[in-house]
Amino acid sequence: MAEVEAFPVSATDKAVTHLRRLLGSGRLRPGERLKEQELSTEIGVSRTPLREALKLLAQEGLIEVLPNRGARVPLVSESEIDDLFPVMGALEGLAGTRAAAKATDADIDDVRALHYQMAAAWRRRDRATYHRLNREIHDHLLRLADSPTLTRLHGALDARVAGIRFEAEMDGALWDRAMGEHEDMLKALEARNGPALGAVLQRHLETKRETVLAALQEGFAGAGDGQRPV
Amino acid sequence: MAEVEAFPVSATDKAVTHLRRLLGSGRLRPGERLKEQELSTEIGVSRTPLREALKLLAQEGLIEVLPNRGARVPLVSESEIDDLFPVMGALEGLAGTRAAAKATDADIDDVRALHYQMAAAWRRRDRATYHRLNREIHDHLLRLADSPTLTRLHGALDARVAGIRFEAEMDGALWDRAMGEHEDMLKALEARNGPALGAVLQRHLETKRETVLAALQEGFAGAGDGQRPV
DNA sequence: GTTTTCAGAATTGCATGCAATAATCGCCAG
DNA sequence: CTGGCGATTATTGCATGCAATTCTGAAAAC
């Protein structure tokens, strides 16, 4: 067995990872104040690396730090969604264009397999499986685009909406529309038509934007299910 | 006069600003090691906020920090340029599309004024003025796009190539091509043709990519003129 | 009953100290 | 003279302490 590069995870990385999980899982809710003392003891690092982690996540927009007033989980507003999604659309559009150009036959086979599994989940209205496979397909396409910068930026933006539990709220019409767009994606990818794939992805983002906005208006603002009426 | 919100600049902000200037001005050269002690005394803050600043800039890709080995100014490689520019192209394309849709007549007048000043600078081969106005025009368009996320991401990517002194190397043919694209930009903006403006900006980025690559191959790698053969 | 005030507590921002890791340089073998 | 090795030095990573700021809440004023 090859010796694994014994890679000392820094306390800052540990804090970043831990905080990401807290934010993504909804343990920290929008508007909530993040106290350094509290978090540092929970995570098991001192305040210095924790503060570094907070600043890093703030730069990504996942939290916001106010001078002398500590960090908060930002409330996600409609205007932020409207700001965010066009940019994600542009990035995914580029990803699609590149992915179609670079995909090997094997890559396309992989995506096709995921696609048909997802279509099956959609037909039986299995939300959880659908969303898992959906994510896998999008990750796959992004990976095919083969651009670290693209992956990094997209990930940063995606993390901001990850807290919104829009999946649960996805209504039938929007879900069908999304599924239809996925059909078009597969066709464009099979035809290795980059511009078409890019265009579909941009349309798809618009559908996602509407889904997220609907969820937001239903009161699923931000991470967690804390605001759920039951 | 309204009382200005007296806002205390944090030591971290001070360090970030200072480091940005050092990197942008070429005082710190690619490959150079950044020592915390040295920098902190020069900037006048202690190591803690300096370290926060380093991590923030590292997240933007302006520097890289290796575990236990400190921070370095990364060498800019061709592959990084090839990675970066398509993404910037997608962002500027979006900016153009939005800018054309949102611009008021007054906005267009402003851009037109800048454009004709720049054209004059181009005709008399006044590089410095041309590049200043060029930057102003691009900033203006980005501002018209009216998207904080777009501005932020574009700024982060732009900072990475800002250190490369590609302006000095811009050869005649590429310069003329860039100027022609600016003509098209103005036309598209005047016609409020968003897609057209977006497309021009993407083409323009490709021209810039070639310019930067040429400069890189001439040995102007990264910030500063240290590698210049004289 | 509502608002203002102000002392005490809590919290953040930053500097410094100490342990752990990496770089450096002189020394010795070949 | 060159290349490898070990002690010394330099540097990073992190924890902690202290000053400055903000928050809290209870009493006083209206």
Query: What is the rounded distance in angstroms from the CA atom of residue A222 to the CA atom of residue A226?
Result: 9
Query: What is the rounded distance in angstroms from the CA atom of residue B158 to the CA atom of residue B139?
Result: 11
First to last CA, chain A: 52
CA atoms within 13 A on the CB side of A66: 8
- Residue A94, classified by CB atoms within 10 Å of its CB into exposed (0-12), middle (13-18) or buried (19+), is buried
A130, A118 Cβ separation under 8 angstroms: yes
Residue that wins the pLDDT comparison between A4 and A57 = A57
Residue A134: inside a domain: yes
A129, B68 Cβ separation under 8 angstroms: no
Mean pLDDT score, A194-208: 94
CA B50 to mean position of chain CA atoms? 23
Mean pLDDT score, A73-86: 91
pLDDT digits (tens, 9 = 90+) for B145-163: 999 999 999 999 998 888 7
pLDDT digits (tens, 9 = 90+) for B82-141: 999 999 999 999 999 999 999 999 999 999 999 999 999 999 999 999 999 999 999 999
Residue A224: inside a domain: no
- Residue A227 pLDDT exceeds 80: no
Model confidence at A186, pLDDT cuts 50, 70, 90, reads very high
3-state DSSP: chain A helix, strand, coil percent, rounded to 5? 70, 5, 25
Q: What is the pLDDT of residue A134?
A: 95
A23-28 long-range contacts (CB < 8 A, ≥24 apart) are A23/A57, A23/A62, A23/A63, A23/A73, A23/A159, A23/A163, A23/A223, A24/A159, A24/A162, A24/A163, A24/A223, A25/A223, A25/A224, A26/A163, A26/A165, A26/A223, A26/A224, A26/A225, A26/A226, A27/A223, A27/A224, A28/A73, A28/A223, A28/A224
pLDDT digits (tens, 9 = 90+) for B50-98: 999 999 999 999 999 999 999 999 988 899 999 999 999 999 999 999 9
Q: What is the CATH number of the domain that holds A170?
A: 1.20.120.530
B37/B109 same-domain check: no
A123/A190 same-domain check: yes
Tell me how many domains chain A contains: 2
Mean pLDDT score, A122-133: 94
Q: Do A83 and B149 touch (CB under 8 A)?
A: yes
- Residue B229 pLDDT exceeds 50: no
Place of tokens 């490369």: B164
Place of tokens 């900016």: B95
Range of the domain at B33: 11-72
Interface of A with B in 3-32 (CB under 8 A): 8, 10, 12
Residue A181: inside a domain: yes
Query: What is the rounded distance in angstroms from the CA atom of residue A16 to the CA atom of residue B174?
Result: 44
B161-to-A31, A174, B74, B85, B144 alpha-carbon distances in Å: 37, 41, 11, 9, 23
Query: What is the rounded distance in angstroms from the CA atom of residue B63 to the CA atom of residue B60?
Result: 8
Q: Which of B36, B43, B35, B34 is nearest to B15 (CA)?
A: B43
- Specify the DSSP element, H or E, that contains A6: none
Tokens of B202: 């993407």
Query: What is the rounded distance in angstroms from the CA atom of residue B201 to the CA atom of residue B107?
Result: 18
CA B148 to mean position of chain CA atoms? 16
Where a domain ends, among A20, A47, A72? A72
Query: What is the rounded distance in angstroms from the CA atom of residue A229 to the CA atom of residue B141?
Result: 44
Q: Which of A60, A63, A81 is nearest to A205 (CA)?
A: A81
B55/B88 same-domain check: no
Report the footprint of strand C: residues with C-beta closer than 7 angstroms: A 8, 33-37, 47-48, 51, 65, 67-71; B 10-12, 45-49, 67-69
- Specify the DSSP element, H or E, that contains A126: none
Residue in chain A nearest B47 by alpha carbon: A48
Residue A63: inside a domain: yes
Instruction: Find the Å distance, CA of residue B223 to C1' of nucleotide D3.
Output: 36
Rounded CA Rg of chain B: 19
Q: What is the CATH number of the domain that holds B45?
A: 1.10.10.10
A182/A211 same-domain check: yes
Q: What is the pLDDT of residue B69?
A: 92
Q: What is the pLDDT of residue B216?
A: 84
B94/B170 same-domain check: yes
Model confidence at A29, pLDDT cuts 50, 70, 90, reads confident
B104/B203 same-domain check: yes
CB atoms under 10 Å from CB of A38, counted, come to 11
B50/B91 same-domain check: no
B136/B22 same-domain check: no
A223, A171 Cβ separation under 8 angstroms: no
Mean pLDDT score, A130-158: 95
Which residue of A67, A93, A147 is in closest CB contact with B10? A67
A49/A27 same-domain check: yes
Interface of B with A in 39-68 (CB under 8 A): 48, 51-52, 55-56, 59-61, 67-68
Residue B19: inside a domain: yes
Residue B224: inside a domain: no
Model confidence at B217, pLDDT cuts 50, 70, 90, reads confident
- Residue A229 pLDDT exceeds 60: no
Tokens of A10: 């820094």
Where a domain ends, among A72, A88, A112? A72
Where a domain ends, among A72, A89, A109? A72
A198/A154 same-domain check: yes
Residue A187: inside a domain: yes
A92/A64 same-domain check: no
- Residue B178 pLDDT exceeds 80: yes
Model confidence at B7, pLDDT cuts 50, 70, 90, reads low
Q: Is the minimum CB–CB distance between B93 and chain A shorter than 8 Å?
A: yes
- Residue A228 pLDDT exceeds 60: no
Q: Which of B64, B50, B58 is nearest to B12 (CA)?
A: B50
pLDDT digits (tens, 9 = 90+) for B184-194: 999 999 999 99
CB atoms under 10 Å from CB of A21, counted, come to 11
A103-107, A193-197, A225-229, B216-220 — which is least confidently predicted? A225-229
Q: What is the pLDDT of residue B219?
A: 63
Q: What is the pLDDT of residue A21?
A: 92
pLDDT digits (tens, 9 = 90+) for B11-54: 999 999 999 999 888 888 888 899 999 999 999 999 999 999 99
Residue A226: inside a domain: no
Q: Which of A60, A70, A47, A56 is nearest to B48 (CA)?
A: A47
For residue A226, give every residue at least 6 positions away whose Cβ sits within 8 Å of its Cβ, in sequence order, or none: A26, A29
- Residue B172 pLDDT exceeds 90: no
- Residue A218 pLDDT exceeds 90: no
Residue that wins the pLDDT comparison between B6 and B133 = B133
Query: What is the rounded distance in angstroms from the CA atom of residue A188 to the CA atom of residue B100?
Result: 29
